[in-house]
């Protein structure tokens, strides 16, 4: 006596037999996802000839990674699924089979022949898109990967040895870290080192410079944008830095430049562990470790009411001070030598060692731009001079004279050099008076912020 299930399986087999010429193969499974039947074409795809030895086996034992069980258990059909089977592309349809009560009794799958004209270009296009996505994922992972560890932070001075210990310690805990230091002291490198020493090292490291993003775009950069949030917005959601850094580390550089209104939303995100994209009222969970950095006196800003006290307490759990280069006795020669080696490698030329006189001249400079300025000076020397070694005269051509020498020097008849020295001096003074706030320093100098940034890059000041 046949059951309704048997009758329906027989009907399905008969129907598939009628379209045998249009399909590469067909499969029937029961409610336990066991094989009921394979078409001749499917047996050929599997390299089998005896159907009897396959009937009753779980489908995954015959076709690894089969999705038939998913169809049986959920009742959801898979109308179109393009898969690669060996060197062939197949367009597969999977459908649940039901009895007269609607209960699922099994599932059927069939693959259209790849000779159908429209299938091959679809399959090839899918393959191209999958390859492109794979390359993008690899590039994204590389971009967000660890770039520096504590071992990359050069320095033999006591201050730097203590800094290395603090960075490793910060990596062992999950608390927020606040990096404090002048422009160019290596705060982003320190943030990378903390991330590399943490349990999150295999997850993304995402950095954002608050001062470099226009104020009207900051909220979208941090929290993302919902589809159609404003005129011109994309139809797809755009994730913010919090979503991109999920389960990893988010580095907030120049946090002291964040507007008060955005500080409130950042505080709420840190408290609740949720972000709400621009144009949406649907929050989403995020798990992010925060490392913030600033060259500004945040404690003074709290007292002045320009930085939220509650946010300051959230960020200032583990404060770490990065010493300026002028306080790192003995490190200038070590760093200059490393930068000389790196510059020579980048230019494909022989390394130029520094003479004792060149080192002495570098050590007399007060380095308002710190390590970044030193790297810029060494690169300028390679570009602007020749020779087997770096001489004191090469340093003097790039660096302004120290104050004591400038007072005794004859009038400088090189107008361009004199203007450059004056600009560097005025910029360093304005940045110091503004506590490192580039927006405020630009206002003091009567410059636009973009002009100030361009000159800072020009002179290697950060």
CATH number, span 328-409: 1.10.8.60
DSSP line for 259-293: -HHHHHHHHHHHHHSEE--BT----EE---EEEEE
CA-wise closest residue to 180 among 310, 309, 296, 331 = 296
CATH number, span 150-227+238-321: 3.40.50.300
Q: Please list the residue range(s) of the chain that carry CATH number 3.30.450.20.
A: 4-120
Angle formed at CA 118 by CA 114 and CA 121, multiple of 5 degrees: 80
Contact predicate 260/302, CB 8 Å: no
pLDDT tens digits for 82-114? 776 666 777 889 999 998 888 999 999 988 775
Task: State how far the Cα of 16 lies from the Cα of 10, in Å rounded to an integer.
Answer: 10
CA-wise closest residue to 210 among 170, 171, 260, 166 = 260
pLDDT at 143: 54
pLDDT tens digits for 335-354? 999 999 999 999 999 999 99
Contact predicate 182/350, CB 8 Å: no
Region of residue 253 (left: phi > 0; alpha: psi -120 to 50; beta: else): beta
What pTM was estimated for this model as a whole? 0.58
Q: Please list the residue range(s) of the chain that carry CATH number 3.40.50.300.
A: 150-227+238-321
The domain made up of 4-120 is a member of CATH 3.30.450.20: yes
Residue 140 pLDDT > 60, yes or no?
A: no
Pick the CATH number of 410-462 from 2.30.40.10, 1.10.760.10, 2.170.150.20, 1.10.10.60: 1.10.10.60
Q: At which residue do the structure tokens 């302004």 appear? A: 400
Backbone phi, psi, residue 407, to 5°: -65, -30
CB atoms within 10 A of CB 32: 11
Q: Please list the residue range(s) of the chain that carry CATH number 1.10.10.60.
A: 410-462
pLDDT at 91: 80
Task: State how far the Cα of 344 lies from the Cα of 317, in Å rounded to an integer.
Answer: 41
Question: In Å, how far are 39, 116, 213 from 18, measured between CA atoms?
Answer: 12, 17, 64
pLDDT tens digits for 27-60? 999 999 999 989 888 888 888 989 999 999 999 9
Q: At which residue do the structure tokens 């794979």 appear? A: 134
Task: State how far the Cα of 428 lies from the Cα of 419, in Å rounded to an integer.
Answer: 14
Q: Dihedral of CA 117/119/122/125: which sign?
A: negative
Burial 86-120 (b: 16+ CB within 10 A, else e): eeebbbbbbbbbeeeeeebbbbbbbbbebeeeebe
pLDDT-based confidence at 152, cuts 50/70/90? low
């Amino acid at each position: 006596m046949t059951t309704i299930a048997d009758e329906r399986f027989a009907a399905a087999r008969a129907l598939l037999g009628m379209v045998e010429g249009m399909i590469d193969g067909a499969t029937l499974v029961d409610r336990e996802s066991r094989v009921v039947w394979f078409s001749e074409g499917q047996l050929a795809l599997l390299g089998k000839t005896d159907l009897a030895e396959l009937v009753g086996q779980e489908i995954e034992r015959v076709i690894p990674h089969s999705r038939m069980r998913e169809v049986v258990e959920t009742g959801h059909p898979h109308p179109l699924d393009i898969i690669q089977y060996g060197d062939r592309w197949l367009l597969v349809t999977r459908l649940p089979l039901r009895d007269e009560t609607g209960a699922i009794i099994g599932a059927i799958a069939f693959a259209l022949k790849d000779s159908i004209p429209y299938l091959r270009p679809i399959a090839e296009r899918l393959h191209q898109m999958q390859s492109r996505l794979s390359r993008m994922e690899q590039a994204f992972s590389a971009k967000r990967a660890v770039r520096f560890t504590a071992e990359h932070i050069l320095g033999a001075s006591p201050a730097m040895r203590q800094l290395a210990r603090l960075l490793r310690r910060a990596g062992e805990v999950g608390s927020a870290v606040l990096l404090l230091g002048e422009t160019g002291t290596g705060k982003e490198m320190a943030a990378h080192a903390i991330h590399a020493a943490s349990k999150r090292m295999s997850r993304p490291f995402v950095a954002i410079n608050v001062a470099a993003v226009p104020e009207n775009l900051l909220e979208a950069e941090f929290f993302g944008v919902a589809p159609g949030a404003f005129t011109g917005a994309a139809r797809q959601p755009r994730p913010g830095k919090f979503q991109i850094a999920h389960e990893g580390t988010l580095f907030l550089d120049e946090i002291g430049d964040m507007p008060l209104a955005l500080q409130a939303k950042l505080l709420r995100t840190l408290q609740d562990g949720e972000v709400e994209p621009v144009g949406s009222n649907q929050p989403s969970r995020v798990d992010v470790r925060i490392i913030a950095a600033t060259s500004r006196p945040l404690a003074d800003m709290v007292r002045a009411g320009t930085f939220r006290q509650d946010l300051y307490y959230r960020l200032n759990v583990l404060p770490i001070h990065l010493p300026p280069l002028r306080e790192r006795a003995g490190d200038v020669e070590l760093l200059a030598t490393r930068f000389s080696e790196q510059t020579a490698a980048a230019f494909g030329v022989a390394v130029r060692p520094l003479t004792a006189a060149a080192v002495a001249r570098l050590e007399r400079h007060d380095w308002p731009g710190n390590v970044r300025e030193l790297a810029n000076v060494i690169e300028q020397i390679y570009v602007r001079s020749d020779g087997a070694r770096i001489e004191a005269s090469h340093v003097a051509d790039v660096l302004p004279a120290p104050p004591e020498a400038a007072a005794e020097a004859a009038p400088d008849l090189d107008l361009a050099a004199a203007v450059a020295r004056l600009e560097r001096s005025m910029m360093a003074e304005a940045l110091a008076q503004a506590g490192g706030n580039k927006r405020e320093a630009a206002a003091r100098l009567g410059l636009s912020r973009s002009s100030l940034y361009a000159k800072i890059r020009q002179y290697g000041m950060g």
